[in-house]
Amino acid sequence: MTVSRRAFLASSGLALMSASQVSGRAAAASIPEAPIQTSPLMQPPLFPSSGPDYQPVVTLNGWTLPWRMNGDWKEFHLVAEPVVREIAPGMKAHLWGYNGQSPGPTIECVEGDKVRIFVTNKLPEHTTIHWHGMLLPSGMDGVGGLTQPHIKPGKTFVYEWEVKSSGTFMYHPHADEMVQMAMGMMGSFIIHPKDPKFMRVDRDFVFLLASYDIEPGTYVPRVNEMTDFNMWTFNSRVFPGIDHFVVRKGDRARVRVGNLTMTNHPIHMHGYHFSVTCTDGGWVPESARWPETTIDVPVGAMRAYDFVADVPGDWALHCHKSHHTMNAMGHDVKTYIGVDQREIKKKISRLVDGYMPMGSAGMAEMGEMEMEAPANTLPMMTGFGQFGPIEMGGMFTVMKVREGLDANDYKDPGWFNHPEGTVAYEYKGSKAALQQPARKPTRVGATASGVELRAVKPGRGGQSHY
């Protein structure tokens, strides 16, 4: 973890200048350190050094915020500030976030903890933090103007409450909300059960869904956009820059997802059936669960699902809205499927050296060619696996289930070594056999057994006779 001493000293100075904003219980104490993280790679889990035991979460392309104990209070320090986030190698975005990143660091605590969270504002405008889904006093809810004064630039405020219930939550501003969330201000907040055995899993992952409209060659999102986003992200990263989930065979795993975009997302995982076990309203009773392969995550909601990783392999995990697995996708692109572009190629090639028409037979060739793109943007379809181009972008990653991993080993194990005879293959037998009809066609109104069915006009009372 990269900690900026300059940032720590600066934030300590801010605390001294704004003591009037700090509660009486905390005024006498020095402000805790505000760690900074700039790496876009998933950091190791942060295991508790004291208090109740729990299996910590791992944040996709993110990290967990360290804390200190001050008496019986668990203290954290968030700094709201401009950040530079690498969306994927080759593209960076100028966003707003917390402690060096967008989304900000994940906060973890335990049911029954007394938490005190210092928030220092280094943005050019005021802000607040709303603790989404959590049960707390009204004055700690973080709605600017309604439940608290706004946190002005350069000021530090303190939120403190006793954590009432465990579950999957998040935090985000409730001040100039359209701009600040569109600029990437958000983070996950996980509250573990007081009973270490309750709903425990072996691997626990969390990430947030966010969308941005960042035109090629630019760095700042268009915050007034409502529908036509071109970057759909897991934790402000797009494929192929999204870390893989790594799970040991036999582990019970959990995936927690929060949605702060302007549309719902059907998150689909290949290879497994799972059960939805948690929302931002708490844990789902076992009697209310059902098997799924896709979970729809509504706007402003959290969902968590569990499964037992019993089948090794490389399994896709993605949003099932096809445009959400694309990067830098324009919405005014013409469709050229079936269009003969040979003549237009001749004419344009006289003016543009190396011009190459595309799309007459679909867009798959874009994934293979990796054509040069404008500055600070990404190909619409990209990424390669062991068998060729994956032709994805946006909200797409891979769940890698492997045998023989250590309990907390999250390193990428590489591509799956498929056992012999378990990979789809090209048919190289007789073409004539493929051209034969599968079975003799039957006449309309007849079944395969030759019994003819006769439909009779419905009688009175809406009954039908056959």
Q: Which domains does the chain have, with CATH numbers?
A: 5-308 (2.60.40.420)
Selection from 276, 272, 274 nearest residue 310 by Cα: 272
pLDDT tens column, 375-388: 898 887 788 899 99
- Joined together, the tokens standing for residue 437 give 């009809």
3-state helix, strand, coil in the chain (%, to 5): 15, 35, 55
The C-alpha atoms of residue 110 and residue 229 are separated, in whole angstroms, by 37
259 by Cβ neighbours in 10 Å (0-12 / 13-18 / 19+) ranks as buried
Q: Is the pLDDT of residue 350 over 80?
A: no
Residue with the bigger pLDDT between 451 and 432: it is 432
> Which two structure tokens, joined as six digits, stand for 203?
């691997």
In sequence order, what are the beta bridge partners of 283? 278
pLDDT at 326: 87
Q: What is the pLDDT of residues 125-158, one digit of tens each?
A: 999 999 999 999 999 999 999 999 999 999 999 9
Buried b (16+ CB within 10 A) or exposed e, 100-113: bbbbbbbbbbbbeb
Helix, coil or strand: residue 373? coil
Nearest to 2 by CA among 59, 40, 32, 48: 40
Burial class (CB in 10 A: 0-12, 13-18, 19+), 15: buried
CA distance 274 to 271: 10
Nearest to 156 by CA among 68, 73, 79: 79
| pLDDT per position as a tens digit, 4-46 | 433 333 333 333 233 235 444 444 458 999 999 999 999 999 9
Cis amide prior to 437 (ω within 30 degrees): no
Nearest in space to 88 (alpha carbons), one of 191, 206, 232: 232
Q: Quote the pLDDT of residue 436.
A: 67
pLDDT computed for residue 382 by the predictor: 83
